[in-house]
Structure 1
Amino acid sequence: MSSEVKNEHKLSTGLAVLRALAESTRLRIVLLLAERELTVKDLTLILGQSQPRISRHLKLLYEAGVIERYREGSWVYFRLTDSTWISQVLKGFDRSDAEHGRDLDRLSHLRAEQASQAQAYFERNAGDWDRLRSLYIDEVAVDEVISAAIGAQEVDLMVDLGTGTGHVLELLSGRYKRALGIDVNKSMLNYARARLDAQRDGGAQVRHGDLYNLSLDDGRADLVVMHQVLHYLSDPASAIREAGRILRPGGRLLVVDFGPHDLDYLREEFAHQRLGFSDDQMAGWFADSQMQVAEMTVLEPSGTRRSERLTVALWMGQKMDVVGIDTRRSITMRQVEGA
């Protein structure tokens, strides 16, 4: 392709983007998607407009290459594409605009409401949490793979985000000098404290905290674990960015969660916000936080009720100490049956 044709292509792409954004509602949608990925329902609640109208605007933005979409069960999420034109428009926008400020306030309230729904579920089930989780995954098999992934070498500081009942702190006892378990649910933390007291592990503590806004300095942790946490969050990408922030260069992040599935009933019965995660999705979030996915393990369900159980995936990433390197290069993959 000649340079003249390339320039014409870039110009036509830019014109398509600018035309798509030359309408107030579509610009508001793009500014919201710059904060986080959202569904049609989310956007109707924030913008106060009907679902058909929002859907028409999303269709135009999609056709112009401004946004992309992906399905999780019966829900469809939208996010911005990686476009220089969009980036330039966003840089030039006046963030002090009053209407945009109100949209961000409603987005914040929506996230708080979604989080409170999940926390209400945890509050009701804290005392029986480990048994409930084992109904759809084999914890023993998962624990074995977690232990193997972490290795025997002791780290100075491990942080367990979404520690729940403290299961990971107990599982990895002896692999850390100090450990900090953080959770927003106080009922869960009460069980975690009792568990640690019984174990008499003086190196581990639990603390109330927000996974989106941790009270830890940059580069403090050697190892961060997020065990079956992300599918309960409305904005998992932000939680991973925060985990990456507290990791030291060379530190590791282990994410244990579900692969993509279509069991919609888990949203209502188990308060799941997301129906699993793909490898590309996880690699992208790691890369955005200057981390590289170094190892991925898949645990396929076993037994006679395979269709009712979930595939579990483990992503091990490392915080890079050089800005601008390729954070998606080599990934070691292995598959295990028995989750």
Structure 2
Amino acid sequence: MEHLIGQLKALAEPTRLRVATLLALGELTVSELVQVLGQSQPRVSRHLKLLTDAGLVERQPEGAFVFYRLVSAGPGQRIANVIGDLTPPDDPVLKRDLDRLATVKAARAAAAESYFQRANEDWNRIRALHLSEDEVEAAMRDAAGSGPFQLMIDVGVGTGRILEVFADRVTESVGIDVNHAMLNVARLNLERAGLTGASVRKADVSALPFDDGVADLVTVHQVLHYLDDPAVAIAECARVLKPGGVLLIADFAPHQLEFLKTDHAHRKLGFSDEEMTEWVENSGLEMRRRSALHPEEPENRLTVKIWSARRTPVRASQPPVSARDLTA
């Protein structure tokens, strides 16, 4: 009861209620809230701290940036879920806030789209080397199974497309990436798609910001070939899976297109079934399914491989290998 009273007290101040209402519409930084509210940075930061201390707001560091959002779990979740519905839509102050928010989000979208246009040229060159994305996505959905999945983690979220692909089977999804500009592209796309249960955050696959055994589905789409040590990434993905959880990997079969290393920063020229199975099993998972999507003209083209593995019950005598064990 005392905790609930504290949360209600935190909201019983006009500016903090405005902040909570804005965050109900998506993640925002301090500087973006300053632009919307027309208040100083120290004052806005103070309001955010009080809302965070009350368990209504959480902060997500992203390099030099920090994004704030309403909590998605814990004692404050139920109140956070209804804040947007309780505030009067015809309030003149809130209407002004929403107009300013639209301007702020338009500027963010313009920056994201500018980055995406620059990066998209490289992606289109690579896409032309293999089957269409529609075929790859359909095969991924088939390999994952029908679910439903409570929590999905997408490693290397990119544009956010894989979160959209599985949205109808997932209650909550989180995409992680190390690229701040790419995260903003994903935010924009998820917002446009109306995926309120999806969010993104900055993190590295070698140290996922999640507890052990929390995810029902982990997807790794065209990420491993950029990594120096894919085995460590697979072990970390395995760590966060629940018993029965699914790890879904889409990447390339072994190939000889050396220009992908020199021109596109690929560290690995594809993966064999044997090495992928070894990494998966060393991480305490069971390889359940392997499939290959061959291009119509195989010469100088890429075959996309899809591997599906599942977390099996852990035996006391043989605990799963962790990412830390592999790097020791």
TM range (shorter): 0.5 to 0.7
- Say which of 206, 209, 216 aligns to 1:222: 216
Amino acid at match of 2:151: L
Which residue of 294, 299, 302 maps to 2:296? 302
In the alignment, structure 1 residue 162 sits paired with structure 2 residue 156: yes
1:187-206 counterparts in 2 under 5 A? 187-206=181-200
Out of 118, 128, 153, the residue aligned to residue 135 of structure 1 is 128
Does 2:213 correspond to 1:245?
A: no
Structure 2 residue corresponding to 1:319, chosen from 286, 311, 319: 311
**Cα RMSD, aligned residues only:** 2.1
Query: Residue 308 of structure 1 aligns to which amino acid in structure 2?
Result: N
CA displacement 1:267-308 (0-9 Å, x = unmatched): 0111100010111100110111100110000111114xx212
**3-state SS of the aligned residue for 2:237?**
helix
1:212 partner amino acid: S
Q: More deviation in 187-196 or 147-156?
A: 147-156
User: After superposition, what is the alpha-carbon deviation per residue over 1:107-144, rounded to whole angstroms, capped at 9, x for unaligned?
Assistant: xxxxxxxxxxxxxxx99943546534422222121111
**Cα distance in 2 between the residues matched to 1:217 and 1:253:** 16
Change (3 A) 1:259 1:271: same
SS at match of 1:308: coil
Secondary structure of the corresponding residue to residue 244 of structure 1? helix
* Aligned partner of residue 153 in structure 2, secondary structure: strand
Verify the 8 A CA contact 2:212 2:241 in the aligned structure 1.
Answer: yes
Gaps spanning 5+ residues in structure 2: where?
Answer: 1-114, 319-328
User: Hey, what's the Cα distance between the residues in 1 that align with 2:314 and 2:299?
Assistant: 43
* Distance across 2 between alignment mates of 1:298 and 1:325: 35
**1:279 paired residue number:** 273
1:257 maps to amino acid = D
Q: State how far apart, in whole Å, the 1-side matches of 2:300 and 2:223 are.
A: 20
Distance in structure 1 (CA, Å) of the matches to 2:232 and 2:150: 25
| TM-score normalized with structure 2 length | 0.59
Paired with 1:282 and 1:259, the residues of 2 have a C-alpha distance of 10
Residues in 1 aligned to 2:274 and 2:119: alpha-carbon distance in whole angstroms: 32
CA contact (8 A) 1:257 1:313 kept: yes
What is the aligned partner in structure 2 of residue 99 from structure 1? Answer: none
Query: Residue 252 and residue 325 in structure 1: after superposition, are their counterparts in 2 closer, same or farther (change >3 A)?
Result: farther
Classify the secondary structure of the residue corresponding to 1:307: coil
Q: 1:243 to 1:268 in 2, by over 3 A?
A: same
Aligned to 1:149: 143
Counterpart code for 2:222: Q
CA contact (8 A) 1:290 1:323 kept: no
For residue 141 of structure 1, give the secondary structure of its aligned residue in structure 2. Answer: helix
Deviation digits for residues 216-253 of structure 1 (CA, Å, limit 9, x no counterpart): 00001000000000000011000001000000111110
Alignment of 1:288 with 2:301, yes or no, is no
Identity %: 41
| Other-structure match for 1:36 | none
Instruction: Kindly report which structure 2 residues correspond to 1:65-76, keeping only aligned pairs within 5 A, or say none.
Output: none
User: Aligned to 1:165, what secondary structure does the other structure show?
Assistant: coil
Return the alpha-carbon distance in structure 2 between the equivalents of residues 258 and 130 of structure 1: 14
Counting matched residue pairs gives 204
Alignment of 1:324-335 (within 5 A): none
* Unaligned 5+ runs, structure 1: 1-121, 327-339
Whether the 8 Å CA contact 1:225–1:255 is kept in 2: the answer is yes
Q: Which deviates further from its counterpart, 161-170 or 132-141? A: 132-141
Match of residue 179 from structure 1: 173
Tell me how far apart the structure 1 counterparts of residues 287 and 311 of structure 2 sit (CA, whole Å): 9
Is the 2:213–2:241 Cα contact (8 Å) retained in structure 1? yes
1:54-91 deviations in Å (ceiling 9; x for gaps) = xxxxxxxxxxxxxxxxxxxxxxxxxxxxxxxxxxxxxx
Preserved CA contact (<8 Å) 1:123 1:185: no
**Could you state the TM-score of these two structures normalised by the residue count of structure 1?**
0.57
Whole-angstrom CA distance in 1 between matches of 2:126 and 2:196 = 27
Structure 2 distance, partners of 1:123, 1:274, is 24
Amino acid at match of 1:240: I
Question: 1:233 is matched with which residue?
Answer: 227
Secondary structure at 1:293 match in 2: strand
